[in-house]
A and B are shown apart, each in its own frame.
Chain A
């Protein structure tokens, strides 16, 4: 089973700052099979990025994804108040797995 490790667990930032979230896989994965989701308190997760770098419909371009092999990154260029949430990476394909999540909190 491929394990996804997200870091840091919590990121304390101010609105307007840049956020860099890491997702590391225990073995190399196809970049076509990596997604990111955002979850706000009391809400279901929602799709942000798929195929490592493709933004889902309606996702603003301040969100970007990159990476390959075992190391993947979600970058939020300038944090807006609505971006403070928990973010999960996911490897899809056989037996999908999720990372443990990174919480972005207001500093």
Chain B
């Protein structure tokens, strides 16, 4: 069974950093690009960042460019999102999602259950 399990969320003060992780299982991790998508409380979905199968191609939403860094460790079947200079507007549920190809972005399937990030003093 394909599974994506996010971790690392929590309450953090504005300006601080946080690192999210996504543990993948049930598929050949390095066959696929991966993404982070967030959803603010009661709001819609926002693509945050994506990474190709080998980490050579990175993409970021304008809202996080220069503050967030996506990476992956194929040996450990893991995806990461390093978030720095966090702002209250970064408060959201963060989902890890698998692309359907190695380069992306294609459609996303499946998605993890998400981890909550709250930025507040």
Contacts and interface: CB of A to CB of B under 8 A. Distances in A.
A46 B95 CA distance: 12
Contacts of B109: 46-47, 50, 56
A50 B100 CA distance: 11
Nearest to B50: A96
A45 B106 contact: no
Given A88-B44, A88-B45, A97-B47, A45 B107 contact: no
Contact of A47 (B44, B61, B107, B112): B107
Interface residues of A, number: 23
B105 interface: yes
Contacts of A67: none
B111 interface: yes
**Overall SS of chain B's interface:** loop
B107 A92 contact: yes
A93 B108 CA distance: 11
Given A95-B59, A98-B44, A101-B44, A44 B105 contact: no
Interface in B4-50: 35, 37, 44-47, 50
A22 interface: no
Contacts of B111: 44-46
Given A95-B47, A96-B105, 20 more contacts: A1-B62, A37-B45, A37-B108, A44-B110, A44-B111, A44-B112, A46-B109, A50-B100, A50-B107, A56-B109, A88-B44, A88-B45, A92-B105, A94-B105, A96-B50, A98-B44, A98-B46, A98-B47, A99-B44, A101-B44
Interface of A: 1, 35, 37, 43-47, 50-51, 56, 88, 90, 92-101
Interface of B: 35, 37, 44-47, 50, 59, 61-62, 95, 100, 105-114
10 contacts: A47-B107, A50-B106, A50-B109, A51-B107, A88-B45, A90-B108, A95-B61, A96-B47, A96-B105, A98-B46
